[in-house]
Structure 1
Amino acid sequence: MAANSDRRVPQDGEPASSSSSTLADDHVSEKAAGYPSSVRDGGKTKDKRSKEDEVSSTAAADVADDVEYPSGIKLGFIVVALVLGVFLLSLDMTIVATAIPKITDEFRGLDEVGWYAAAFFMTAGSTQSTWGKIYKYFPLKLSFLIAIAIFELGSVICGAAPSAEALIAGRAVAGVGAAGLGSGAYTIVAFSAPPRKRPAFTGFLGASCGFASVVGPLLGGVFTDHVSWRWCFYVNLPVGALSALVILIFFKTPRQAAPVQAPLLEKLRQMDPLGIVLMMGATVAYILAVQYGGVAHAWDSSVVVGLLVGFVAIVAAWAGLQWCQGERSMVPPRLISDRTNLVMSLVSFVLAGGYFAVIYYIPVYFQSLHGASPTMSGVRNLPLIIAVTASTIASGAFVSATGRYQPMLIGGGVVATVGAGLLYTLELDSPAGAWIGYQVVAGLGWGASFQTPMIAVQGSVSTKDLASATGMLLFFQAIGGAYIVSGAQAAFVNQMVGHVTKNAPRVDLRTLILTGATEIRHAFPTDQQPVVIDGYMSGIKVVFAMCIAATGIASLGSLATRWNKLQRDKTAAGGMA
């Protein structure tokens, strides 16, 4: 089979071709979320396969026969390197949460907390689609190494950050690298293992995600307690360097992964740089508006109103650009106009945002109000993380066995809503049984529902659109994290300030906002501490209330999905029955 260096660049409004590279990318996008290929969607009946499916399957088989895959120790080293890379990516999303209260102590302030998560999710989401195209139009191996380098650079900036602003900048840089690291890892594994072995190796990558989610809060607590919170970022350096070194030595880019030949200008246009700039600009305007509103400026002030108007205007410009650019856009209009894709994108937006808000604020509850150390805070956070991991695995198995994703999507959303409601009832003196049980309920719900939008989207598009559809959904998940977590931070601060101002007018508001989350018992006189602590509890309740709203919206929105069954026997090209 000839190398695909002569592949034609798709024009505006034209779907990507089913070339060997595209087929590999489709398989990667399917496995990137850790879902079995058996849940994909193909024809209208169980026993009939469309001609397109047959052609795709034949082409995939030809690719498998023609590719010379690494084997033995060489393959083992490559898989281990990719597992380490995905582990770092997943670890970075949870390890910071436990350290945030201590970070606020050093940088003296709660007003920047929302940025620590939002900056990462903003850049990761905005560049998700771009990285997919980078791997298509530029050398695979070099692009992956550059992604690791960017992620490592962001980690260095975060670890050495002298201020909150520097830490936020580092998180933004790390988000860009993380987007490329994740998609690149699954791309490389697709070109390193033959189709029959690929599920096992992609399963290793998925397992590393779950493991990182469990150990992240613990590791963050241990570093923060016994070394420094900065090691939550420095730990990425040796592991990332080892992963890059192994890929550099052992991975050889196959000719099927050769870059698509196109003029440089066309390659850059495919990256949708203006779309990235507009989305980041809109996100920054939104975060600044909710950060300033009610604290630095009144909600009806010209500054806040101007930022909100700017946010709406930029989003409108971004949406118009996406429509005009067609297939070059990060959210192709042809895909988002489909009912299932639209519903699942919106559901993913609110589900992800609510989940990450809980992840970032439960440590504040334990460390600020219960006085727990970062290590013990990580231990107390385990019920949620373990429940999410176990439920995610179980829901994937259920969908694989039954072909039905709707029960997990809707039922999981309802359980997550109940769990968020239970978390809302937590008080200062809630017993261990309460915060353990409530986290388990919430975790079971989020775990069951979090992955199912991806399954639904992948089951509603044709094989050639899998990569684009997957990138689109990951974009909405990441942006949801940025918007809802920053909104939760604004709600937390506004509620806390309002409560303290009402019940203890003599408390200095500047001190209240600039005091670290674990120093509130030392920064205020004894007679003011109860009011401040109650203010924190009041603010955390508002965050959990937002999570109730987010999961409730997701549950209701899920009802709009199609009620078709995913065909379990479609492993090469799927469809809805």
Structure 2
Amino acid sequence: MSTAHSLVDGEKPAVARTPTADVAPEKEIIKNTTTDSEDIQDEPTEANEYPSGLRLVFILLALVLGIFLVSLDLTIVATAIPKITSEFNGLDDVSWYSAAFFMTIGGFQSAWGKAYKYFPLKTTFLLAIFTFELGSLICGIAPNSTTLIVGRAISGLGAGGIGSGAYTIIAFSAKPKTRPMFTGIIGASYGIAAVVGPLLGGVFAAKVSWRWCFYVNLPIGGFSALIIVLFFKTPTTAKPKAASLGERLLQMDLVGAILVMGAVVSYILALHYGGAIYKWKSSQVVGLLVGFVVLSVAFAAWEWCQVDRAMVPFRLIRNRVYLVPSLFAFFFSGAYFLVIYYLPIYFQGIDDVSAAMSGVRNLPLILAVSLSMLASGAYITITGISAPLTVAGTALAMSCVGLLYTLEVDSTSGKWIGCQVIGGVGWGVASQIPIITVQATAPAADLAEVTAIVLFLQTIGGAFMVSAAQAAFVNVLVKVIPSSAPGVNPAMVVSTGATNLRTVFSADELTGVLVAYMRGLQAVFAIGIASIGIAFVIILFQSWKRLNTAAILGGGAAA
């Protein structure tokens, strides 16, 4: 007689269960060693928790608007800077308008990533939007240059949280099958804003006021926050990781972020003062440069001691596959932002065009960057070939800056249009490859961290290069004025905004002033040439292997 039990229709066989006490420790170890990306991938949202229909559309719209504003703030002030300098009567703070934003968005990017892991997701994202909006409001009502710089720093702090939060929320809102598509939509909004930014900034500065470059953030950001409040419900799998408050704060590595900010501020102030306000050998400038070195060393030592709590873990940065693209991004992107910020000064100061027309004149560069970026991403996704594109793109970008160096007061439009198209193709082809490379080669456990490292160095590179360019511009301007425009006070030229040159100086004086302006701009572009030259040497040490297209198609490398 058989002892087997016959199953009736619909009855399921019994399954032996392993006691939970035997597997819990192993599960806990795995859980505690995962990164943010693993938490999303290994603990997927329950199917019934994914938003759908109109609710999903609104959430996606909120995230697109958030990323759009972050990208917009990176470039919108570029064409408005001459108007800002005219109202505040000076060129000496130009570098701070961009550097303040870059240094906080880069310095606190890792901290925001940890915040989304250890604090409530929805609340943290809303806090990021509030911080960004507060900074925008301060910029809009700024009565002086210092207040504007403070507002830009606060906006950058919030922008870092919006960027990290948008990709985290979409990971919990979109089903795995559709997640790459929605991630691509969010990424596309970044590119569109980069195109619209300079043009919109020029229109606001010319037709209304440069202050609307910041006021525009308030209703759009508020609408985005309202959508998140009404439509986004934090899934159960997105609950904060259990840890004491002290451990949460340690994981955010706020000390590391503060050390980075201190080093960057010391560097910017040294270049801001050197040759323009104090002599380069003065105690003020030397002290700031020493402070920059000391704080940089302190940051490196602190990160070494923090191990996996660090914002830049040494176990990753020692790997050539991650180190080379990260350093490349620092110098390559730094040169791009340098051109974005100083080409409008050439158009408005030398060619005497309006801020709006200056934005239009920037379109060849911005459009070429956007179209080339799409083409490059598609090609790499299909073929997995990226290394030759990086070298070619860097060479084209270097050619662009080299040609910009040859611009003169009477250069034709064909010359500056051609320069921008060449550079746009170069930067568009190569600028996203560092992110694609590290994401396609990194294991899931390190994906979030290596991405943050590249973004951190990319944004800090922008702050460093724009500040160096400003120092070169002012120092050369002051040095050349006595010979090109005798009798003109160099301090008067520095304190006069680019759009007011023809109002302040007579026709005879203006000729010499414009010559000095061109020499200053050539010094700026020379720094750009050096920056891209260093990037070119660095990228020769990259991995020349074909990328894993499966990883790219999976959505990781395309993000």
Partner of 1:97: 78
Question: 2-side partners of 1:363 and 1:314: how far apart?
Answer: 34
Partner of 1:201: 182
> Structure 1, residues 58-89: CA drift from partner, whole Å, max 9, x if none?
x64x7266562100011011111111111111
Partner of 2:336: 355
The aligned amino acid for 1:124 is I
Note if contact 2:45-2:237 (Cα within 8 Å) is conserved in structure 1: no
Note if contact 2:477-2:490 (Cα within 8 Å) is conserved in structure 1: no
Where 2:161 maps in the other structure, the secondary structure is helix
Where 2:50 maps in the other structure, the secondary structure is coil
1:332 aligns with 2:313: yes
The aligned amino acid for 2:361 is R
Deviation at 1:98, TM superposition (A): 0.7
Note if contact 1:105-1:516 (Cα within 8 Å) is conserved in structure 2: yes
Partner of 1:271: 252
Structure 1's 527 and 15: CA in aligned 2 closer, same or farther, altered over 3 A?
Answer: farther
2:522 to 529, 533, 541: 541
> Structure 1, residues 492-529: CA drift from partner, whole Å, max 9, x if none?
11111111123334211221111111111111233211
> Structure 1, residues 110-147: CA drift from partner, whole Å, max 9, x if none?
00000000000011110010000000000000000000
- Structure 1 residues 379-528: aligned runs within 5 Å: 379-528=360-509
The aligned amino acid for 1:191 is F
Further displaced range: 448-457 or 99-108:
448-457
1:155 aligns with 2:129: no
The aligned amino acid for 1:296 is I
Question: 1-side partners of 2:27 and 2:300: how far apart?
Answer: 24
Partner of 2:37: 22
1:559 aligns with 2:540: yes
Question: 2-side partners of 1:222 and 1:574: how far apart?
Answer: 37
Where 2:261 maps in the other structure, the secondary structure is helix
Question: 2-side partners of 1:560 and 1:330: how far apart?
Answer: 24
Question: 2-side partners of 1:419 and 1:273: how far apart?
Answer: 39
Structure 1's 192 and 364: CA in aligned 2 closer, same or farther, altered over 3 A?
Answer: same
Partner of 1:141: 122
Question: 2-side partners of 1:16 and 1:549: how far apart?
Answer: 44
Larger Rg: 2
Partner of 2:157: 176
Structure 1's 65 and 268: CA in aligned 2 closer, same or farther, altered over 3 A?
Answer: closer
Aligned length: 534
> Structure 1, residues 214-240: CA drift from partner, whole Å, max 9, x if none?
111111111111110000000000000
Further displaced range: 238-247 or 293-302:
293-302
Where 1:560 maps in the other structure, the secondary structure is coil
The aligned amino acid for 1:330 is M
Where 1:325 maps in the other structure, the secondary structure is helix
Note if contact 1:15-1:327 (Cα within 8 Å) is conserved in structure 2: no
Note if contact 1:419-1:438 (Cα within 8 Å) is conserved in structure 2: yes
Note if contact 1:64-1:195 (Cα within 8 Å) is conserved in structure 2: no
Partner of 1:244: 225
Deviation at 1:7, TM superposition (A): 11
Note if contact 1:496-1:536 (Cα within 8 Å) is conserved in structure 2: yes
Deviation at 1:294, TM superposition (A): 1.1
Note if contact 1:15-1:465 (Cα within 8 Å) is conserved in structure 2: no
Runs of 5+ consecutive residues of structure 1 not aligned to the other structure:
26-58
Structure 1's 374 and 470: CA in aligned 2 closer, same or farther, altered over 3 A?
Answer: same
Runs of 5+ consecutive residues of structure 2 not aligned to the other structure:
1-19
Given the two structures, how large is their TM-score scaled by the length of structure 1? 0.89
Structure 1's 7 and 502: CA in aligned 2 closer, same or farther, altered over 3 A?
Answer: farther
Note if contact 2:37-2:444 (Cα within 8 Å) is conserved in structure 1: no
Deviation at 1:545, TM superposition (A): 1.2
Partner of 1:222: 203
Partner of 2:15: none
Higher normalized contact order (CA 8 Å, seq sep 6+, divided by chain length): 1
Identity %: 54
Where 1:518 maps in the other structure, the secondary structure is helix
> Structure 1, residues 229-269: CA drift from partner, whole Å, max 9, x if none?
00000000000000000011000011111100100001011
Question: 2-side partners of 1:10 and 1:171: how far apart?
Answer: 42
Instruction: Please give the root-mean-square deviation of Cα atoms over the aligned residues, in Å.
Output: 2.1
Runs of 4+ in 1 over 6 A off after TM superposition: 6-11
The aligned amino acid for 1:344 is P
1:300 aligns with 2:281: yes
Question: 1-side partners of 2:155 and 2:25: how far apart?
Answer: 32
Structure 1's 8 and 271: CA in aligned 2 closer, same or farther, altered over 3 A?
Answer: farther
Structure 1's 327 and 248: CA in aligned 2 closer, same or farther, altered over 3 A?
Answer: same
The aligned amino acid for 2:243 is A
Question: 2-side partners of 1:239 and 1:378: how far apart?
Answer: 22
Question: 1-side partners of 2:25 and 2:91: how far apart?
Answer: 52
Further displaced range: 66-75 or 92-101:
66-75
Partner of 1:107: 88
Question: 1-side partners of 2:224 and 2:435: how far apart?
Answer: 28
Question: 2-side partners of 1:8 and 1:364: how far apart?
Answer: 60
Question: 1-side partners of 2:158 and 2:107: how far apart?
Answer: 12
Where 1:426 maps in the other structure, the secondary structure is coil
